[in-house]
Amino acid sequence: MALSKLSGENAVAMAFSKLSGDEQGVILGQLRNALAPHHSLYYSSTCKELRALLPPAALQQLRTDYEAAMALCAKMGIWNCKELRQARTIEWREGRLSAANLATLATLGSVLPFLERLILEEHATGPDGVQPLAEGLIAGALPALIDFEISDTLVGDAGAAAIAAALDRGALPQLRSLTLATAAIGDAGLVALAPALRRRPGLEYLCLGGNPLGDEGLAALLGAPPPAGTPPPRPAGALENLEVLDLEDSQITDAGYATLAVALYRGALPALEELALDGSPAFGVVKAIVYQALAWSRASST
């Protein structure tokens, strides 16, 4: 029995030693899974190389992280860590999640493999907004998330920049629908966020309604304008599959919507089917020109 156990440990150790640093890091992340600490202890007992990844200080941190995860579950009305680990939808529309709660949720991003929808609504965060959540999302975090919704909640320009950084790190790799509504995002925030969105060809739905963004932010979302007199073909991969764009209750002016109309005529946003523009200071006739450009774009793509 002892010989068999030793042989098994040697095999695990040999296999582990052949992994790259990144691959060993993935295993380390799973060993330090705060939602299933008993699994961590079990697997780390299989060989000394894995045991070395959980020294006493790491075990204490795992215990602390588990307690924080339990506190988050209790606040969100989730029975236990197993239920959270298996959740496909998390909706939080009641009360405030603290910065610590959001930071905990971010650390769990890599161990929530089934989560497809994350919804924070109606001032669901503390005074720091969602920045602790965005800043804590590492590469590959929330690997199955399709729909990310933040509404009536403080995001702000700093939060938008933090979300952009998370997307560029490789978080939310399956994201198709993003709602950042009534979230205090201005031009600076959208300028920071737009390049990351344009690098996500899978994005199909984008709601930015109720934010004080204007012409500069819209221009960033559409991409840099071409040199005068030299209209290029549309850039590949720039919001190629975006079907719905909500810009209601913004600060976009006639000039901004004229830029949008020209972009549509030039082939930008080729999959766009729905466009919401109500509530901005632009004149109705300019919006009508945009909708005419959208109709032309849709007819051209069929």
**The domain containing residue 157 runs over which residues?**
82-301
Question: In the predicted model, is pLDDT for residue 52 greater than 80?
Answer: no
What is the model's pLDDT at position 136? 93
What is the model's pLDDT at position 188? 97
Length of the chain: 302
| 66 and 2 in a common domain | yes
Of 38, 66, 81, which closes a domain? 81
Look up the pTM and report it.
0.82
Of the chain, the percentage scoring pLDDT greater than 70 comes to: 77
Using one digit for the tens of pLDDT, what is the confidence trace for 147-202? 999 999 999 999 999 999 999 999 999 999 999 999 999 999 999 999 999 999 99
Of 81, 99, 130, which closes a domain? 81
Residues 6+ apart with CB under 8 A from 82: 35, 36
Between CA 75 and CA 90 the distance in angstroms is 12
What is the model's pLDDT at position 208? 98
Q: Are 148 and 205 in contact (CB under 8 A)?
A: no
Higher local confidence (pLDDT), 118 or 129: 118
Question: In the predicted model, is pLDDT for residue 236 greater than 50?
Answer: no
Question: In the predicted model, is pLDDT for residue 40 greater than 80?
Answer: no
Of 16, 47, 81, which closes a domain? 81
Closest alpha carbon to 148 in 38, 164, 44, 281: 164
| 47 and 152 in a common domain | no
| 108 and 174 in a common domain | yes
| 116 and 55 in a common domain | no
We report the CATH number of the domain holding residue 168 as 3.80.10.10
Using one digit for the tens of pLDDT, what is the confidence trace for 10-31? 555 556 556 665 565 555 555 5
Between CA 40 and CA 243 the distance in angstroms is 43
Question: For the chain, what is the domain count?
Answer: 2
Question: In the predicted model, is pLDDT for residue 231 greater than 80?
Answer: no
Cα–Cα distances (Å) from 293 to 66, 83, 250, 259, 277, in that order, read: 53, 48, 20, 11, 14
Higher local confidence (pLDDT), 1 or 115: 115
What's phi and psi for 248, nearest 5 deg? -65, 155
What is the model's pLDDT at position 44? 56
Reported confidence tier of residue 57, pLDDT bands at 50, 70, 90: confident
| 275 and 239 in a common domain | yes
Separation of CA 114 from chain center: 15
